[in-house]
Amino acid sequence: MNVRTARDALTAVLAGLFGAILLDLYLVITEPLVVKRVTPLLVMQWDASNLLGMAAYRGGWATAATGTLLHFCVSIAWGALFVLAALRIRWLMDHALTAGIILGIVAMTVMRGIIHLGYAVVRPFPSFWLFLYILIGHVVFFGVPVALVATNLLRRKIAPRRGRA
């Protein structure tokens, strides 16, 4: 792996993790206030339920940690996709905020609309308001931060170097 590829991979990991941490904090803190009988533990177990089914909700903090780890892995993959796209499509670099909004919508649509509907044991959108709440989270706390972190780090790498003293 050359230095450029390593930097791009690190950028993807950092951007994906940053978005995952912000989104997880948003959900763990606010979802119990929005949805009755939801706890931070259940929020964390939900991602694990996509892999483990209902057993995820009986696994305590071990499956909560598994769900969080899965979420981090998926978020890093989204970060990698964004970095790969931004390196090829200049518009994403020039319009990071808009690109982040699009990333948040696409990530939520793919994850909730395709993967989760096929594997989740809990309905992802029992109401329009919950859909809107999740969409806002994915745009504001995931897509935009991933795009801003990635484009900032990528710009630092590709910006022309100025004369040194």
Q: How confident is the model at residue 4 (pLDDT cuts 50, 70, 90)?
A: confident
Q: How confident is the model at residue 126 (pLDDT cuts 50, 70, 90)?
A: confident
Contact 12, 143 (CB under 8 A): no
The C-alpha atoms of residue 35 and residue 15 are separated, in whole angstroms, by: 29
Contact 17, 76 (CB under 8 A): yes
Residues 6+ apart with CB under 8 A from 148: 96, 97, 100
Average pLDDT over residues 93-117: 90
**Which of 20, 149, 4 lies closest to 72 in space, CA to CA?**
20
